[in-house]
Amino acid sequence: MTVRVRFAPSPTGYLHIGGARTALFNWMFARGHGGQFILRIEDTDQKRTVKGAVQAIMDALRWMGLDWDEGPDVGGPYGPYIQSQRAPLYRQWADWLLEHGYAYKCFCTAEELKARRAAAKAARGDQSYDRRCRLLTAAEVAAREANGIPYVVRFKAPTEGVTVIPDVIRGDIRVPNSQIADAVLLKSDGLPTYHLANVVDDHFMDISHILRADEWISSAPLHLNLYAAFGWPHPVYAHLPLVLNPSGKGKLSKRAQAFDDHGREVLVKVEEFRDAGYLAPALNNFLANVGWSFGDDREIFPIEEAIPRFELQDINPAPTRLPYDKLDWLTGQWIQEMDVLELARAVRATLERQGHEVSPEALLAVMPALRVRLKKLTDAEGFLRFLWEDGGSAAPATDRLASAKLPAEAARRGLQAARTFIAAAQPLDTATLSAGLTAIGESVTTNGKAGPFLGALRLAVTGQEVSPPVFESIVALGRDRALARLDAALAALPAE
């Protein structure tokens, strides 16, 4: 069997993190079996379609590194890949169902249906459609059509027996046919519902496996009966485990913000993870662990190494919460392993989104030291604020530069000596600065150790309690800016 899987989001907004996990698992399965990964846009619900959502979804998938073999932007032999452009095909097969007795025209208005549901609810009865139009004679149907009464097309679901859903992850799921409603397949506007479009597209696009969220288990009996009515073989089903709120209490909803154990809001959009400074490889690593395990007690792995191991039967069907603290840890681990140049580029892009412009040279100077200090790319903003804020006009207070081991007078002598050294240092690099400034520090402190002085020097040139090491910070600032900040610090200290 040639593996062909699809990720088929509705363009009703952003790419949800649960949808991203579904996309990742589909992509991994396709890549691991030499198959195709298809992107299909299911936009039949035109009222909920959001302008720009398709592009936003594709941008999020690309940021994750997920590429597709066929889709709206790349084309393919089974296109078009946007459902609203395939309406004639759905109409054709809805008519086929009508002609062969597997569907019927329903003339009930929305108001009538609403009233019946309210009455059934009040009586604590069955609120699903009561199938009254299923009983209309051919003459009654013709009369309603002649009067121009609009209608929808409903499926004639079986009312007796059992439908078995064969699921690779969960085994056979048995559903009494009495629980399957006569679902609407074609709306009065001529567009299909999800159910008809989904089955028709999966058949004509030769989809071999359907990996989707377990919330669709309830629709699987309808889909299987549609396949049977058409006489088509159905794809292999694999319903993925439910993604829970980080607190473990309830589903991670698309339409409501999630909260962790401490009541804090958490991220749900893929673009939010990007903007919050998480790395795409770390996010993929994290999502692959949600319901599946690499094995060998290994938690950190590039997704390329996971692909050969990924099999549907190894997915745990149990609901799984998203441990966001683990994502923080994973991102920090991935950052530590990044090439310095690659990390500098990533940090620069993040800083630009935050509204800061920093030269590549400055970032390359601090990245080796900063790499082990970052948990997320956005953490760099706090460390590097001194590079775009004017520290020369706001020198640190004297009591912050002096200490028991570095009296004010010694601090002045040390900073003056440091200024003279930095002004003449050739080249201005960390090795040169380390040798010269460490020697100055050892000569001015009361205990003969450079630490207290280097701390004061870092505060003088960055104005920050937390920053990269002082040597890297001076190189990043550049000679002129570093000297200007030392001048401001010296002006704040009492004269000898």
d(CA 440, CA 445): 9
β-strand partners of 173: 165
254 counts as catalytic: yes
From the candidates 254, 326, 375, 405, give the one annotated as an active-site residue: 254
427-to-423, 434, 438, 454 alpha-carbon distances in Å: 11, 12, 16, 20
Tokens of 50: 């959001």
List residues with catalytic annotation: 254
